[in-house]
Amino acid sequence: MILLVGCADDDAPLAAIAAELLARDEPYVVFDPDDPLATVGRAWHPDREAVVTTSTATICLDEICAAYLRPASRPGRAAQNCRALSTVLTWSEFTPAVVVNRPAACAANTSKPYQLEMIRAFGFATPATLTTTSPDAARAFVQEVGRAVYKSVSADRSMVGEVDPRDTGRLRDVVHCPTQFQQLVDGDDLRVHVVGGEAHALRIRSMETDYRYVPPEGALPTATLAELDPDPRGRLIAMTRAMGLRFAGIDLRESGDGTLYCLEVNPSPGFTFYERLSGVPIAPFVADLLTHETPDLEPSREKECVHAAQRSDM
């Protein structure tokens, strides 16, 4: 039995995986964090696995062989049953089942500068990045790199915008909250979906600073299949695996001189956006992972991703 965690009627990636499994006649069950009837039927005990019940099913977690997690609640709603969701998520950290992806492995994406250090450790170029509460430091950084964007530090989705260095009033505001500035690298965007041991690359062209947000009068971005050289391809797959992820959507930018800058590794990619844009299917590969991938041999505890560059004087 495959477990899908998320809002199947609202979340396009989860719905796409459910449709793919249905087409293959693979049995699956959905745990919706917003289900008001979701509850813990039997709590975990060292001698037996937990059971959660939903409005439509009883889920014995020890019968789950693979799981696909998109646990975010619907916008503006908190999960109806935190205890049941917590039970499922805690199970997902410790189970030997195939999990795409374990929450602890996803957590690095909640701090972009933290994740950027992990990326740098894999030898990828990253844009110069400053996070600060000092207006003077922000001003000096923008002056130094020429063109810069600001973007959220956390996983909270925000529109990436270019900094206008003349807008000194807004730069003064950084004193209220640490704000992230990043060198703007001109070039094409590449989106690489790493699924298990495979990497599927798309080249994206757009007139916008952030191609995900196109104004009504703007032109839609285009996405076409791209070829990756074996070296970066291999490193992207190795980095994804080392981060404890089985599936990731990696954002890169190729500068005019051919340098590949790695911007972010998304552990819960909204891949259906790219399927629509390019016509290239991703869902079947994820479904393959869930149905064919070998379970972890020794998953017994969550994989804490303390990045290599972390200074720990332990």
Partner 1 sequence: MILVVADDLDPSIECVRDNDDVVVATPSSLSMAGWTLRSGAPPTVPEALGGAAVRAVLVRVVRIRAESLPHVHPEDRAYVAAEMTAFLTAFLAQWPARRVNPVTPGNLMGLARSPEGWLRAVAMDGLATCVDPPAAEGSSSAVVVGAKVFDYGPIVDREERAAITRRIAGAAGSRHLAVQFCVEHSTAVTGVSYQPRLDERLWLALKDELLRCEQGAVP
Using CB under 8 A as the criterion, which residues of the chain lie in contact with partner 1 when the complex forms? 43-46, 86-87, 89-90, 93-94, 103-104, 107-117, 120, 126, 128-135, 137, 141, 152-156, 175-179, 300-302, 304-307, 309-314
Residue 67 is encoded by which pair of tokens? 């799981």
> Please, what is the minimum distance in Å from the beta carbon of residue 174 to partner 1?
8
* End-to-end Cα, the chain, rounded Å: 42
Q: Minimum CB separation from partner 1 for residue 14, in Å?
A: 22
In the complex, least distance from residue 120 CB atom to partner 1, rounded to whole angstroms: 7
Cβ at position 189, least distance to partner 1 in Å: 20
Helix 271-278 × helix 12-23 angle, to 10°: 70
CB nearer partner 1, residue 207 or residue 308: 308
CA contacts within 13 A on the Cβ side of 13: 22
Nearer to partner 1, 55 or 133 (CB): 133
Helix (H, G, I), strand (E, B), or coil: what is residue 132?
strand
Q: Read off the tokens for 102.
A: 């374990």
Q: At 182, which helix (H) or strand (E)?
A: strand 179-183
CA neighbours closer than 13 Å in the CB half-sphere of residue 215: 5
User: Cβ closer to partner 1: 221 or 267?
Assistant: 267
* CA dist 31 → 54, 69, 97, 122, 291 (Å): 7, 9, 16, 35, 18
Comparing CB distances to partner 1, the nearer of 166 and 301 is 301
Least distance to partner 1, CB of residue 251, Å: 16
CB closer to partner 1 out of 131 and 209:
131
Nearer to partner 1, 261 or 274 (CB): 261
CB 221 within 8 A of CB 287: no
Cβ(129)–Cβ(149) below 8 Å? no
> In whole angstroms, how close is the CB of 234 to partner 1 at the nearest point?
24
